[in-house]
Each structure stands twice: as structure tokens, then as C-alpha cells.
Amino acid sequence: MLQRTEYLHELHIATGRAPVVSLLGPRQCGKTTLARAYGEGVGAIYFDLESIPDQRRLQNPELMLGAREGLVVLDEIQAMPELFGALRVLVDRPGNRAKFLILGSASPSILKRVSETLAGRTEFIELSGFHNSETGSESLQKLWLRGGFPLSFLAESEKDSLAWRENFIRTFLERDIPQLGITIPSPAMRRFWTMLAHFHGQTLNASEIGRSLGVSDKTVKSYLDILTGTFMVRQLQPWYENVGKRQVKAPKIYLRDSGLLHSLLDIQDVHQLTGNPRLGASWEGFALEQTIRSVKPTEPYFWATHSGAELDLFFIKKGKRFGIEFKYNEAPTVTKSMHIALENLQLHHLYIVYPGRESYPIAQNITVIPLGKNDIFSLAEEPV
């Protein structure tokens, strides 16, 4: 298993300043492994809330946890939502000497009790699959094809990786979604998820998807919110302001894990990937997720106008505006759209992320950079 030192450091900082730390992310992304690795170093006590014996031990949580000191890890907190109220009582109790690390496979929008019951008492850390800084630039193509889920990336063969991903999709639909109290037939959600794979990287058109599936716009949006809340899909919101142009105001849809995208599109190896019409969209989504993880913007956006100008990623960092374009091209060129984005959005700098190896300036305030480099965003400094 790869060492995830960046996340271990984040846990160390967060547990030092917050009474409750919520480590959230999709199933099988490594939350339990990370929590156990961190907990062993600090002598934590661990409860698996999907374990019947551990559930029984916590039938009276205030009694069981009230006298604890140090770190207590509660894994898969959504299995016992009644614990949120008990945690609020415990952390507010005078003389409390315990810290709590809670793990969940759904976002705060799904686990509403986290944001409501523990408001002001918890710090959130979102764990994703492997990042290229963890796997190494030499494994970038493998990470793109297989995705970042540890058991998919580390599988012995492409066939084993594909089999794991297919089993993950089936288990997610048949077990994980119902466990969140969501009663949607798994075949319907599978069809919807597959449809989204074909719309990957495009602006959401709920009416078109609804017509294809024979459901209403409202149903499409509710399904989409479920997959977003369980970290399967990213709804990248548009940035719009009064710049004198009609701007796109619907989100763009991306499947967050490239390996799951490829499974849903029935792409089994690199040869099939490079010959697939969705090649460019797949690269864009993969590079987008890797870049957001590197840059850690407060809020990521895209920008597009109805006249055709667009920018794949826009964010504000340290008071400066930045734009990023993702191009699956060994020699990307500057486009008119890039110049429009630079001027209209008043960008400090625009980067073109590509699958090559070298960084180089291509125009004033525009730089081409490889995805594999992780130290490229020294955003307080002018680009070299």
C-alpha cells in the first residue's frame, strides 16, 4: 500500500485543533487504512460501526465513550446516525479529554446530521483515490486507465482491475445506496450512471438525459445529487459575472474516478482508450481531478459563454485569478478562447495542462505544463 503522508499530516493538524474530525470519501478509497495507520501512532481506540459487536458496544454511547481519553475512531458513521447527538453532548461536556475521528462514505449534504448537530465542532477532510504525487509520474497512464481506488490501481493485472471496478459498481448500487436510505432500483441507477458517462465533461442537460431514460428533469437532478453526494460525480459549477456576455449557467458533469468512467464506457485497456471518441473528455476529467487535488481551490469553477468562449477550470487563489485548460495534445496551441478568458476574467495567469514532460511559456501570461508535475502552482509568485 502506498504511503499517504499528506493526508496523515492533515489528520495530525485537524485532530489537534478540532474536537471532531470528519474524514469523508467514497467507499474503498482508503479511509479505514488511513485512519488505522494514523490511529496506531497515537494509540486510538477503533470502532467499526458496520460490525455487530461494535454496534452493541455503543448501545449506550455516552457511557461507553464518556470516560475515554485521546482519539476515538468511529468508522462508517452513517450506519449509526444516532451517534451524532451523543458526540455533541460528549465534546461539549466540561473536562472532556477525547477527540473523535469519524469516517463516512457520503458528503455532509447527505450526512446532514454532521453539519447540523456538530456545527462549529467538526473539521472536514475529503479523502479521494490515489493522486499522481502518490503513485509517481511514471505511473500516470496506469492511474488514468485504472482510476485512483487503491484496489483497482494496485491490482495484479488489467483484468483484475476491471473486475474489481465492476464489482464495486454493483456493490455500490445494490448495497451502499440503500444503506443511505435511498430506495432507487439499482438497474435504474446503473442506466443513469452509464448515461452520465457518455455526457462526461459536458454541460448538464437534464431534459435530454430525462428523455433518454424516460424520467422527469426532477428525477434526473435527484439521481445526480445522490451520485454527487456519494463522491461518484462532480458537478462543476459555472463562474458567471457581469462581463457583457451571455454566460452558461448550468454545471458541467464529470465522473470523478477515471477508472469507473472507463468501466461504464466498456473501455478495458489503453489501446481501446486511445481509440475511443471520449478520449479527450476522459483526459479532461482525469486531469481536472488531479489538478483540483494539487491546487486545493476554495471553490473550483468553469467558465463558458454562449458565443463559444470557455475555460475548463477557474479559481481564485491568494486574491489572484487563475485559469486552466486541459489539452490531450503533445503540442497545444493558444486559442482565441484563451485570450478572451484572459481578458474578460482578468486572469493573473492561464495554464495549459497537457500529457507531455516539459513546461514552457507559450504566450504572455500563458504557460504549458505537464500534469505529472506537482510543484507547478506557486501561486503567490509570478510563473517562471
Q: Are residues 217 and 350 in the same domain?
A: yes
Cα–Cα distances (Å) from 367 to 118, 146, 201, 293, 383, in that order, read 43, 29, 23, 20, 8
Q: Are residues 97 and 237 in the same domain?
A: no
List Cβ neighbours of 359 (8 Å cut-off, separation of 6 or more): 367, 368, 369, 370, 373, 376
248: left (phi over 0), alpha (psi -120 to 50) or beta: beta
Q: What is the pLDDT of residues 290-338, one digit of tens each?
A: 999 999 999 999 999 888 889 999 999 989 999 999 999 999 999 999 9
Number of domains in the chain: 2
pLDDT of residue 110: 61
Q: What is the pLDDT of residues 194-232, one digit of tens each?
A: 999 999 999 999 999 999 889 999 999 999 999 999 999
Q: Could you tell me the CATH number of the domain that includes residue 306?
A: 1.10.10.10
Q: What is the pLDDT of residues 5-15, one digit of tens each?
A: 999 999 999 99
Domain boundary residue, one of 77, 107, 126: 126
Q: Are residues 183 and 276 in the same domain?
A: yes
pLDDT of residue 1: 63
Q: Is the pLDDT of residue 266 over 70?
A: yes
Q: What is the pLDDT of residues 140-181, one digit of tens each?
A: 999 999 999 999 999 999 999 999 999 999 999 998 888 777
Least confident of 200-209, 235-244, 253-262: 235-244
Domain boundary residue, one of 75, 92, 126: 126
Q: Are residues 147 and 169 in the same domain?
A: yes
Query: 288 in a domain, yes or no?
Result: yes
Q: Are residues 85 and 170 in the same domain?
A: no
Q: Are residues 343 and 205 in the same domain?
A: yes
Q: What is the mean pLDDT of residues 230-247?
A: 84
Q: What is the pLDDT of residues 328-343, one digit of tens each?
A: 999 999 999 999 999 9
Q: Are residues 171 and 266 in the same domain?
A: yes
Percent of the chain's residues with pLDDT above 70: 94
Q: Are residues 122 and 251 in the same domain?
A: no
Query: 310 in a domain, yes or no?
Result: yes
Cα angle value 312/317/323 (rounded, 5°): 20
Q: What is the pLDDT of residues 363-372, one digit of tens each?
A: 999 999 999 7
Q: Are residues 95 and 15 in the same domain?
A: yes
Q: What is the mean pLDDT of residues 101-130?
A: 82
Q: Are residues 110 and 137 in the same domain?
A: no
Range of the domain at 48: 5-126
Q: Is the pLDDT of residue 384 over 50?
A: no
The chain-wide mean pLDDT, for the chain, equals: 90
List Cβ neighbours of 141 (8 Å cut-off, separation of 6 or more): 270
How far apart CA 14 and CA 24 sit, in angstroms, is 13
Q: Are residues 197 and 88 in the same domain?
A: no
Highest mean pLDDT among 44-48, 85-89, 184-188: 44-48
Query: 59 in a domain, yes or no?
Result: yes
Q: Is the pLDDT of residue 382 over 60?
A: no
pLDDT of residue 379: 43
pLDDT of residue 227: 93
- How confident is residue 245, by pLDDT bands cut at 50, 70 and 90? low
List Cβ neighbours of 117 (8 Å cut-off, separation of 6 or more): 84, 85, 87, 88
| Maximum C-alpha span of the chain | 65
DSSP-derived letter for residue 247 is B
More reliable by pLDDT, 112 or 384: 112
Whether residue 292 contacts residue 314, with contact meaning beta carbons closer than 8 Å, is answered with no
Query: 281 in a domain, yes or no?
Result: yes
Whether residue 324 contacts residue 313, with contact meaning beta carbons closer than 8 Å, is answered with yes
Tell how strand 301-304 and strand 310-317 pair up: antiparallel
Q: What is the pLDDT of residues 181-192, one digit of tens each?
A: 778 888 999 999
Q: Could you tell me the CATH number of the domain that includes residue 94?
A: 3.40.50.300
Domain boundary residue, one of 76, 92, 126: 126
How far apart CA 200 and CA 51 sit, in angstroms, is 37
Query: 380 in a domain, yes or no?
Result: no
Q: Are residues 200 and 84 in the same domain?
A: no
